[in-house]
């Protein structure tokens, strides 16, 4: 029998990750898998990677934010100008200053999918779809055809991330589709479901198959996480702090666009991109 902790959407929140890893260790977890967006938006991407190094995950897949690392490195300063692209440029530069070169290279070169074989089960990990690490195709209320697309091929179980919502669905062929929620940026649309807790997925598998699915919710000191971000001068701090305070998503493109204009972030992003090209 093996117990596997599935971690996704840590977003540089080492305070939450530390609490989740402590809970997983108390549950006698044998193995750790990650499903992308380990970094970006929070203040401690390097400490997150160091914490993960200590437990030696056996699976890493590319998230949309890690994918942005390479997009930023390749970007044309005159074309990479949409509000979220500007934010990606500035947050990538922030992360790159703290990440070791080895961790930065590891994150931007992660695969889109990883397939694991445990007992009789074939399990595929992907941040969104097998060929895309971004987009809203697998929102919790998305149509069934999207989830069938997520489960193409022959996996028994598909595990994805990105939505920050714990999800259990099935494909029309009966494949199980799971989402672990988010470690680092808890959010919910329904205000009655909002709570400042880190989530992860605990799977128990033996030679007969899947024996238990446990959606874990773990308390963490979100006030401390905000204070660390303040002390470390996290760009877009207000968005991060308000998300942790309210457990409601704050990074809408319109809000980011207004912030960029107010704080002249476009100019900063252009300068970062020009420096990359030198």
Which range is least confidently modeled, 17-26, 97-106, 120-129, 187-196? 187-196
Q: Under a CB-based contact definition with an 8 Å cutoff, are residues 182 and 9 in contact?
A: yes
Give the position of tokens 């470690």: 183
Residue 77: pLDDT above 90? yes
List of E strands, 127-258: 157-160, 166-170, 176-180, 197-206, 209-219
- Of the chain, the percentage scoring pLDDT greater than 90 comes to 97
Residue 224: pLDDT above 90? yes
CA dihedral sign, ordered 214, 155, 205, 1:
negative
252-265 average pLDDT score: 97
Task: Report d(CA 180, CA 199) in Å as an integer.
Answer: 7
Task: Report d(CA 64, CA 128) in Å as an integer.
Answer: 9
Strand pairing partners for 159? 125, 178
Task: Report d(CA 182, CA 141) in Å as an integer.
Answer: 17
Residue 60: pLDDT above 80? yes
Predicted confidence band of residue 47 (pLDDT cuts 50, 70, 90) = very high
* Burial of residue 274, with CB atoms counted within 10 A of its CB: 0-12 exposed, 13-18 middle, 19 or more buried: exposed
Residue 183 structural domain: 2-277
**What pLDDT is stored for residue 275 in this prediction?**
86
Residue 112: pLDDT above 90? yes
30-41 average pLDDT score: 97
If one counts the domains in the chain, the total is 1
18-35 average pLDDT score: 98
250 to each of 63, 122, 188, how far by Cα in Å?
Answer: 19, 36, 11
21 contacts: CB under 8 Å, gap ≥ 6: 51, 55
Alpha helices in the chain (DSSP H): 14-26, 45-55, 64-74, 83-98, 101-108, 144-150, 222-231, 237-246, 253-263, 265-277
**What pLDDT is stored for residue 277 in this prediction?**
67
Which range is least confidently modeled, 147-156, 159-168, 187-196, 240-249? 187-196
243-258 average pLDDT score: 97
Q: What is the CATH number of the domain that holds 108?
A: 3.60.21.10
In the predicted model, what is the mean pLDDT of the chain?
97
Closest to 185 measured CA to CA, from 246, 252, 139, 99: 246
**What pLDDT is stored for residue 114 in this prediction?**
98
């Amino acid at each position: 029998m093996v117990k596997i902790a599935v971690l996704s959407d840590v977003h540089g929140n080492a305070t939450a990750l530390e609490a989740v890893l402590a809970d997983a260790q108390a549950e006698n977890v044998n193995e750790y898998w990650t499903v992308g967006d380990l970094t970006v938006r929070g203040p401690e991407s390097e400490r997150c990677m160091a914490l993960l190094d200590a437990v030696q995950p056996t699976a890493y897949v590319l998230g949309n934010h890690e994918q942005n690392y390479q997009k930023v490195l390749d970007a044309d300063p005159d074309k990479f100008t949409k509000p979220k692209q500007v934010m990606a440029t500035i947050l990538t530069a922030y992360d790159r200053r703290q990440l070791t070169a080895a961790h930065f290279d590891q994150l931007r070169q992660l695969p889109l999918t990883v397939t694991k074989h445990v007992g009789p089960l074939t399990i595929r990990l992907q941040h969104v779809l097998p060929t895309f690490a971004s987009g809203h195709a697998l929102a919790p209320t998305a149509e069934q055809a999207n989830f069938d697309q997520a489960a193409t091929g022959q996996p028994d179980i598909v595990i994805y991330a990105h939505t920050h919502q714990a999800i259990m669905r099935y494909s029309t062929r009966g494949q199980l589709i799971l989402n672990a929620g988010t470690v680092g940026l808890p959010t919910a649309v329904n205000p009655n479901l909002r709570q400042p807790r880190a989530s992860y997925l605990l799977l128990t598998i033996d030679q007969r198959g899947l024996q238990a699915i446990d959606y874990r919710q773990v308390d963490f000191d979100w006030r401390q996480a905000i204070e660390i971000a303040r002390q470390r001068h996290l760009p877009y701090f207000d968005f991060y702090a308000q998300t942790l305070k309210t457990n409601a998503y704050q990074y809408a493109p319109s809000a980011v666009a207004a912030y960029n204009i107010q704080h002249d972030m476009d100019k900063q992003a252009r300068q970062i991109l020009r420096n990359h090209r030198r």
